Structure formats: C-alpha cells, structure tokens
Amino acid sequence: MKKAAATRLNILQKAFELIYINGYQTTSIDHIIATTQVTKGAFFYHFKNKEEMGLAIINEILKPTLATSFLEPLQKEQDPIVVIYNLMYDLLLKNEFLKAEYGCPVANFTQEMTPWNIDFSKALAELTQEWTKAMIAAIEKGQQNGIVRKDVNAMQVTLFVVSGYWGIRNFGKLENNKTVYLSYLKELKNYLNTLK
C-alpha cells in the first residue's frame, strides 16, 4: 500500500474506533489527530471536512465489514433458519469488531445523523438495504427448498429480525453486558423455528 493510502486508512480506522465509542459529534478532529499522531495538515489533505471523513468511514470501513461479516454468511447454501441464527450468534457473541458496550455502528450513526444529514442517511440506508436484500434472498431460497413455509413473508421477517438485532444491541449497550444477548438468541431461535 502506498504510504498516503496507509495514512488515510489509519485516520479512518482510529477515527472509527473513537466514534464507535464516543459518537460522531463528540469525537473532535483534534482528538482524532492526537490519537493517530497525524497533523491537521495531513488530516485536511485527505478529507475536505469532518463530514467527508464520516462518509469515508461508512464506505471504507463499515462497508467491507458488512460484506465479510453480514453478507457472506447469508450466502451459504444452507437452511436459512440456521444461517440467520448463526449469523446473529456470531455477530453478538463472537465478532471482535463489534463490542457489546458500544452497540451497532450503523445503528449508532443512524441515530446520530438521521434525519438531518442526508448524505449520511443515504449511505446508511444503502448499507442496510444490502443486508436486508441478502437476508430476504436467503429466506426465499429456503422457501424454494421447502425449508421455510411458503406463506412466510420474507421481507417482513427480515425487517423483524434486523429490528431485533438493532434493538438488542441497544440493550447490550444500555446494560453494558452480553448476557441479554443469550436470552435474545434463545427467543430468536424459537421465533425462527416457527417459520418452518
């Protein structure tokens, strides 16, 4: 990687960490450049302002994570009920990128930036739609395979499941504890099994 690209990525990664922990508004550029050991000149060479950096975090940090941790697992040729459950299990309990006490980065950004920042809203809505589309596809494939009932509304179920995920992440944040995830996962399993 070129050195400039490395500097840029370094800024984005450290900035993401800070924002994930403290929020976008609360994380100042001064704070970011202090922890990255990068000067203000370098920062504003790579990003024309704070907002552009925030959007770059979504596109260059969150989007790749989405692909590997949220989409790929759904594209396996398996029982979608097992696949969705395992996905949630991994995201909530195993994923090292995501921490219980800081919630879901996409949900955090959504809460902080929408509806007043249109660019953020659009970028976040796109990310979310990629995930929901993949989940809907997985469920519909399960219907074709006869694993999931034909009368199940895949879009409806996806909305229900993703909402639950966002919500339980908020719970984990509130209680600063992963144990709520265990109860949630049990009930998610119960629910998913009713789709058979």
Interface residues with DNA (CB under 7 A) are 2-4, 7-8, 27-31, 38-42, 44-46, 48-51
Query: Residue 12 or residue 107: which is nearer to a copy of itself going by CB?
Result: 107
Q: Shortest distance, CB of residue 94 to a copy of itself, whole angstroms?
A: 19
CB of 47 to a copy of itself, least distance (A): 20
Residue 8 or 141 with smaller CB distance to DNA: 8
21 CB contacts (<8 Å, ≥6 apart)? Answer: 102
Exposure of 187 by Cβ count < 10 A (0-12 exposed, 13-18 middle, 19+ buried)? exposed
Cα angle at 62 between 111 and 185, to 5 degrees? Answer: 70
Q: Is 121 in the site for a copy of itself (CB under 8 A)?
A: yes
- Count of Cβ atoms closer than 10 Å to residue 123 Cβ: 22
CA gyration radius for the chain? 18
Q: How many CB atoms lie within 10 A of CB 18?
A: 19
Name the residue nearer to DNA (CB basis): 41 or 146: 41
- Asked if 68 contacts 130 with a C-beta cutoff of 8 angstroms, the reply is no
From 21-29, 69-77, 87-95, 136-144, give the range in contact with a copy of itself by CB under 8 A: 21-29
Instruction: Return residues touching a copy of itself (CB under 8 A).
Output: 21-23, 25-26, 101-103, 107-108, 110-112, 114-116, 121, 124-125, 128, 153, 155-157, 159-160, 162-168, 170-171, 173-176, 180, 183-184, 186-188, 190-191, 194
